[in-house]
Chain A
Amino acid sequence: MDDLRSFASPDTAEGGLDRRSFVKVITMAAAAVGLNASAAARVAEAAAAGVKPSVIWLHFQECTGCTESLLRTSHPDIAKLILDLVSLDYHETLMAASGNQAEDALHAAMKANEGKYICVVEGAIPTRDDGIYCMIGGKTALQLVEEVADKAAAVIAIGSCASWGGIPSADPNPTGATGAPTVLKDKAVVTLPGCPANPYIFLGTALQFVALGTLPALDDKGRPMFAYGRTIHEHCPRRAHFDAGRFVQQFGDEGHRQGWCLYKTGCKGPATHASCSTLQFGETVDAWPIGLGHPCFGCTEQKVAFRVPLHDTVEIDRPTPPDTYPPIEASQGKVGAVATGLTGLVVGGALGAGYRFAKKLSAENEGDPPPPPDDKEVTS
């Protein structure tokens, strides 16, 4: 594999871009993630001037899916862009070096860019038994992440594993796998959950930091609001079917063929904050679970993914009024048959008994003369 650092310079003819195309591509990429034109211009300038912030990318308990998804962006050729925009100084999948050479590169990059590099974490960090279940170069993942994050300007946890533990943390979680924010308690960690995370969210966050030196607005879990601010349910193209009550009852039924709402088949959309419904994947329309006809499984949410069974329904987080309207007068109130019957019996019984008692009194009055006072006459 070539040393990808040969792609670093924009003047390289092979795999390089001329300045105009370069700026055009950067502007498109920036627009795609919501940065305005002036920010895009600053990114282009910074890159052209050869100012490329260092990125140190750590891998722990992961499947490398997040890296792979990042590499499979193709419109534009983002892989080259990333190499031109940033200096990827340590990345176990992509770097050519290995062994001591790799370790030296890591320490050199940390020293040269102390306080200025971006630390990206991919994969969960095992914490049980002092973290021996993931060791690289004789150090545990726990030690490594603390060391590297300590001197980083920004820490980005990409993917659900790095954000909250992901699949390694599924029950019974034998290694004590957990996310970077839990381990790095004193550091602000941007989390980009997803399995894999949508690469454009990473791109947007990294671009903003590179261009403006700031991070996007984050929610209480450290997730960028521009991507994780809404649930899938709030942005779903099948929402109209939900509101109208058109549900798929079984895979393959008529509703499924018509593209109806998948809530009843276990869609976790209402409980899942993510941007899949608008961004989708692979730059292909409908390339996401619901678009393909399968319910969302909630891969970004710690409480849902790998915990709630795939086809179990979830509660709706923030229900909103559907298209139905109550009429001016809507029937309410209960009249029970048993109660009515019971009341009738009791009232009727009381009146009937009273009537009989009255008749008896009258009969007594007409019949016998009043009993003498010392008779032990007892009536009831």
Chain B
Amino acid sequence: MSHDTVHSPVGGSLWTRPVRILLVFVALGAIMTVWRFAAGLGAVSNLNDGYPWGVWIAFDVVTGTALGCGGYAVALLVYILNKGEYHPLVRPAILTSLLGYGLAVLAVTIDLGRPWSLWKVPVFFWRWTGSPQLEVALCVAAYVAVLLVELSPAFFEKWSQSPDTGLGRFAEKGLRFVTRWQVWIIALGLLLPTMHQSSLGTMMLLTGPKLDPLWFTPWLPFLFLVNCVIIGYGVVVLEGHLASSAFGRPRETEMLGRLARVVMWVAWFFFAFRLIDVGLRGQLGRVFADLRGFAFLVEMLLLAGGALIFTSETRRRDPGQQFLGGMVLITAGVVYRFNVYLVGFAPGDEWSYFPAVPELLITFGIVALEVVLYVAAVTVFPILAGPREEPARA
């Protein structure tokens, strides 16, 4: 596949005001993390025996990886459905994926009670291979490596600009290797998320009676997969517009408009599937009856809202409406994941949970770190599409 997208770094200073503000949150999160390891999980979080998984799992891991599914979703379009016109979206999406998954791994390490034993997972996996979580763990680790390889051309292109250095020569060799094997690398980058995103759904099936019937369905793995595609496309739209505004790049409105049409179909499909599945299990009557029913309603309304925005052709052509639709669909997808992992999880009425302030600070810190790393990467390396412009930007 020869795509003739030109990528170039944004250039300019890294230490802008937004970055400095974000670094403050990163530092706050880091301090809380040190405290977490010194004093134990109970000291910084409201996690308890009834709700052992809280915002770190539901957001940073389960949602964070979904937000990082842009690379997966766009690669599907470009490489499988052969829609080469979306190619400029690939590299920034892969970067977002790498950051999303990489920081999800960081969040897991913070959340684990005994992270020093983490090395045993790839070494002793054969002791019990029946846990869906094992699949997720191994798959996510492998996927982070694959994403690094998929993004490596961005680094290699920059480094090979100085071919006389050791780094330059390594970069040239690397570039050749990746180009030669790109089909099978990309195939891995498509296989692995299919596996672990669906397994994230299977994981909650194991909780059996503790998952509310509004979300408990044997189709959960499939639903998680479709959900991550919706979120992935939503992120691509959002990120595309934000990056264009922030870095003064040409806006890809037309391309994103066509992407929005694809997302619309996927979103309506998901909506219909959920409605029918929940209806067949006789749970629709609960929508106004209790809190969980209400959470389901919110999820469905957001989904329908986002899909509706993308249904109208005029709206699809307007960058503001594209952004809005993307935002609403991402929110809908995130709410779904939160509903499965937190809201719909029913350990018994005596248990309650809401994250504590230090717990939230760690989450904010991780998100801030992700944004800072994104900005740094696109500033230094050729990731965003488009020729190099003047270094000045806001």
Contact = CB atoms under 8 A, between A and B. Distances in A.
A and B touch in the complex (CB under 8 A): yes
Interface of A: 329-336, 338-340, 342-343, 346, 351, 354-355, 357-366, 376-380
B50 interface: yes
- Size band of the interface chain B makes with A: 35 or more
B248 A338 contact: no
Contacts of A377: 248
B321 A358 contact: yes
6 contacts: A334-B356, A336-B356, A354-B324, A361-B245, A361-B323, A366-B318
Contacts of A343: 354-355, 360
Interface of B: 46, 48-51, 238, 241-242, 245-246, 248, 253, 318-324, 327, 331, 348-357, 359-360, 364, 390, 392-394
B360 A339 contact: yes
Contacts of B394: 378-380
A366 B319 CA distance: 10
Please provide the 4 A-B residue pairs with the shortest distance between their CB atoms, ordered closest to farther: A362-B320, A380-B394, A361-B320, A333-B352
Contact of B352 (A331, A358, A362, A379): A331
Given A358-B327, A376-B390, A333 B351 contact: yes
A363 B324 CA distance: 13
Given A376-B390, A376-B392, A379-B394, A362 B353 contact: no
A346 B241 CA distance: 21
A349 to B, nearest CB: 12
Contacts, number: 103
A362 B325 CA distance: 12
Contacts of B321: 358, 362
Contacts of B46: 333-336, 339
Contacts of A357: 241-242, 245, 320, 323
Given A339-B355, A342-B360, A333 B48 contact: yes
Contacts of B50: 332-333
Nearest to B250: A373
A365 B323 contact: no
Which residue of A346, A355, A360, A379 has the most chain B CB atoms within 10 A of its CB atom? A379
A378 to B, nearest CB: 5
Contacts of A364: 319-320
Contacts of B352: 331-335
A379 B248 CA distance: 7
Given A361-B241, A365-B253, A355 B364 contact: no
A374 to B, nearest CB: 9
A358 B320 CA distance: 4
A376 B355 CA distance: 45
Given A330-B350, A333-B353, A339-B357, A378 B323 contact: no
A346 B364 contact: yes
Contacts of B49: 332
B353 A335 contact: yes
A236 B287 CA distance: 59
A363 B248 contact: no
A365 B318 contact: yes
A361 B324 CA distance: 10
B302 to A, nearest CB: 11
B354 A362 contact: no
A379 B48 contact: no
Nearest to B359: A339
Contacts of A376: 390, 392
Contact of B245 (A340, A366, A380): A380
A378 B318 CA distance: 20
Contacts of B348: 329
A363 B319 CA distance: 9
B309 to A, nearest CB: 10
Given A380-B246, A380-B393, 7 more contacts: A333-B50, A333-B350, A334-B353, A339-B355, A358-B321, A361-B320, A362-B320
Nearest to B241: A361
Contacts of B241: 357, 361
A43 to B, nearest CB: 60
A367 to B, nearest CB: 11
Contact of B327 (A340, A342, A351): A351
Nearest to B51: A333
Contacts of A355: 324, 327
A361 B319 contact: yes
A362 B318 contact: yes
Contacts of A329: 348-350
Contacts of B319: 361-362, 364-365
Given A334-B352, A338-B357, A358 B324 contact: yes
A379 B245 contact: yes
A378 B48 contact: no
Contacts of A333: 46, 48, 50-51, 350-353
Contacts of A379: 245, 248, 394
Contacts of B48: 332-334
Contacts of B392: 376, 378
B356 A358 contact: no
Nearest to A366: B318
A282 B356 CA distance: 60
Which residue of A331, A361, A363, A376 has the most chain B CB atoms within 10 A of its CB atom? A361
B360 A358 contact: no
Given A351-B327, A359-B320, A334 B354 contact: yes
A262 B319 CA distance: 76
Nearest to B315: A362
Contacts of A351: 327, 331
B334 to A, nearest CB: 10
Contacts of A362: 318-321
A151 to B, nearest CB: 59
Contacts of A334: 46, 48, 352-354, 356
A331 B349 CA distance: 8
A228 to B, nearest CB: 38
B356 A365 contact: no
Contact of A354 (B51, B246, B253, B323): B323
Contacts of A359: 320
A153 to B, nearest CB: 56
A338 B173 CA distance: 54
A207 to B, nearest CB: 55
Nearest to B319: A361
A275 to B, nearest CB: 42
B366 to A, nearest CB: 13
Given A329-B348, A329-B350, A378-B248, A358 B323 contact: yes
Nearest to A363: B320
